[in-house]
Amino acid sequence: MRRKSVVLTTEERDILIFGAIQPRGKHLSNSEIALRLGIPVSRVKYLLHQACLKLKAHNRIEAIFFAMIRGEISLKEIYSLDEIAEICSSLSPEKLQMIADVLRQELEHGYLPEDDEQILCTDRRKGTILTKRERDVLILAGRGLTNMEIADKLYMSVSTVRTFLNRACTKLGACKRADAVVLALKQREISVGEITSLNEVVLGLAPLGANSVEEMARMLNRKFGREPVPVGN
């Protein structure tokens, strides 16, 4: 399957991957990243700046998130299989099994639905803590839109977008909007299908392999007390 063109260098990718790791529930500082990679702090700052420019991100948290969305870094380089299953929990086990089947057959990208704007229908949890507007703003943030672009889409001011994002972050216990998106996905406040297309989901999960995607389907079945999904041939 073809991926989008890679724009980051190996060094820039390494910096973002280390920047995404949270060993104590907190992102590594530039000094800690420099120590782990054996390079000067000034080099870390330069590489982060270059990555942000290439990804059109305002900070390293946004850069990490955009890099994951665009396939520059894969989910398995940052999260455990359990965590990825949590993030994808709004997808039904049946849909994950379907994706595993696609990966197992090693279909070329052209065989998948060609419309990149096609959004998956996914399970939506009832009784969410976010308001409709907070969800709307967070979903568009999850699609990689800037605050200005979100404001234009929702016909509101940039300051209002920031207000809704701040409220969502507070409710979810997140410091940055990218972290809020991930937490909202894990808590099923928003669904994977609301921020990405089928092609993007398949490409994002492809590095895990079909067996791991099937294991995620089984994890979700156990979590929600459902019948096991038949394993593909």
Q: Where are the beta strands (DSSP E) in the chain?
A: none
What's the confidence (pLDDT) of residue 135? 93
Cα–Cα distance for residue pair 154/90, rounded to 1 Å: 24
What ranges do the domains of the chain cover? 10-73, 82-224
Topology (CATH level 3) of domain 82-224: Arc Repressor Mutant, subunit A (1.10.10)
How many CA atoms are closer than 13 Å to the CA of 49, on its beta-carbon side?
Answer: 6
Please name the residues in contact with 131: beta carbons below 8 A apart, sequence gap of 6 or more.
167
Residue 127, both tokens: 């009784």
DSSP string of 16-30, one letter each residue: HHHHH--TTSSPPPH
Domain 10-73 listed as CATH 1.10.10.10:
yes
Q: Comparing 10-73 with 82-224, is the CATH topology the same?
A: yes
Q: What is the mean pLDDT of the chain?
A: 80
Q: Are 163 and 64 in contact (CB under 8 A)?
A: no
Confidence of residue 115 (pLDDT cuts 50, 70, 90): very low
Helix, coil or strand: residue 82: helix
What's the confidence (pLDDT) of residue 5? 54
**pLDDT tens digit sequence for 47-86:** 999 998 998 887 777 788 778 777 788 878 888 888 888 8
